[in-house]
Amino acid sequence: MNHGIIGNGKGERKMIQEITAGELNTEAYIRDKVEEIRNTVGGATAINALSGGVDSSTVTLLGHRALGGRLKTVFIENGLMREGEPERVVSLFQAFGIPVDVVDARAEFFAALQGITDPEEKREAITQTFYRHVFGRIVKESGARHLLQGTILTDVDETVAGIKRQHNVFEQLGIDPREAFGYGIIEPLIQLRKDGVRKLGKALGLPAELFQRIPFPGPALAARVIGEVTAERIETVRKATGVVERLLRDTGAFQYMAILHEDRVTGMREGRRDFGHQIEVRCWDSVDARTATPTRLPFVTLEKLAAEILRDVPGIVSVTYHIAPKPPSTMEVV
């Protein structure tokens, strides 16, 4: 099945041909992509941003296999990541002999998100801050002409269908990255979906804790805050995320998350009225994220989630569980 057009970083455009996880021959795929990356980059250098998710981790290993030291890998600390994420990612890749530069851009991201409540405007603010400002600056300083990126087919589909504008999809929106940001984009995972990327990551040597990791969206915890994204609101959802990920780790679910609502509700604490905040828990069964159903969690698990979120996350007076399937719901809330 064809999924629209894609450039190869050299101004040529071709159709995207899906490769299902079942069809994927990892050895041949790695060999082809390594060659393609080498041909595209030539004698120049490339750069990639590693977030620690399955897609960017896989693309980092693939890129280093192709380019070695000519690929510079950075972790952009946008302030929107999960607890302890930068340290965890850096030490994991150190074990592969891949150095990762951490760039602190927290202030820039929060400034760009200030006052924005519309979901698509949030995505746009994050996109612009990431690609144009922070990454644009890093690329310029590094002298790299190519950006290696872990876009997958589901990102393209959802953008083309107008469901959600994925932060890392450009060509399909008619944006020429070289014109807009000054660098070409190489997307070696674009024919795959999540299950294919996991298979590829495993073949490249990613540890199970990484290739089996649940998906995490590009806009990070900002995709899980309804309404304005502030450092304080991110901290609330970050704490709740810690509880949810710890308690649901062994469910085998495709993805699970905590969401901070915008509406406040009346609660009571120590015998007094408390107009507090609400956390919604979502836990999904899915194969490829195109459709999904809420996991039938045992009620004792739900009770445990509520008890620990109420105990560990200041200001929360309500915890709910999402029970609508995708579609018409989507997995993330923003």
Query: What residues line the site for ligand XMP (CB under 6 A)?
Result: 158, 164, 166-167, 215, 217-219, 223, 255, 289, 326, 330-332
Q: Which is nearer to ligand XMP, 40 or 166 (CB)?
A: 166
Asked if residue 78 lies in contact with residue 138, where contact means CB atoms within 8 angstroms, the answer is: no
Rounded alpha-carbon distances, angstroms, from residue 139 to 10, 23, 40, 50, 131: 18, 35, 17, 14, 9
Taking the alpha carbons of 55, 237, 208, 101 in that order, is the dihedral positive or negative? Answer: positive
Per DSSP, 82 falls in state P
Alpha carbon distance 220, 224 (integer Å)? 8
Say if CB 289 and CB 192 are below 8 A apart: no
Nearer to ligand XMP, 215 or 315 (CB): 215
Residue pair 302/283 in contact (Cβ under 8 Å)? The answer is no
What minimum distance in Å lies between the beta carbon of 191 and ligand XMP? 17
Q: Which of 120, 198, 193, 195 is nearest to 159 (CA)?
A: 120
Least distance in angstroms from the C-beta of 75 to ligand XMP: 17
User: Minimum distance between the CB of residue 334 and ligand XMP, rounded to whole angstroms?
Assistant: 6
Q: How far is the CB of 214 from ligand XMP (least distance, A)?
A: 8
Closer CB to ligand XMP, residue 165 or residue 202? 165
With respect to ligand XMP, which residue has the nearer C-beta, 86 or 218? 218
Measured between alpha carbons, how far is 207 from 213 in angstroms, rounded to an integer? 10
Residue 189 tokens read as: 């995972």
Q: In this complex, which beta carbon is closest to ligand XMP, that of residue 166 or of residue 191? A: 166
Output 215 or 294, the one with its CB closest to ligand XMP.
215
Of the two residues 298 and 327, which places its CB atom closer to ligand XMP in the complex? 327
Min separation Cβ 127 and ligand XMP, Å: 9
Smallest separation (angstroms) from ligand XMP to the CB of 133: 18
Tokens 């979120």 — which residue? Answer: 309
- In angstroms, give the least distance from the CB of 228 to ligand XMP: 18
Closest approach of ligand XMP to the CB of residue 16, in Å: 17
3-state secondary structure of 133: helix
Minimum CB distance to ligand XMP smaller for 129 or for 166:
166
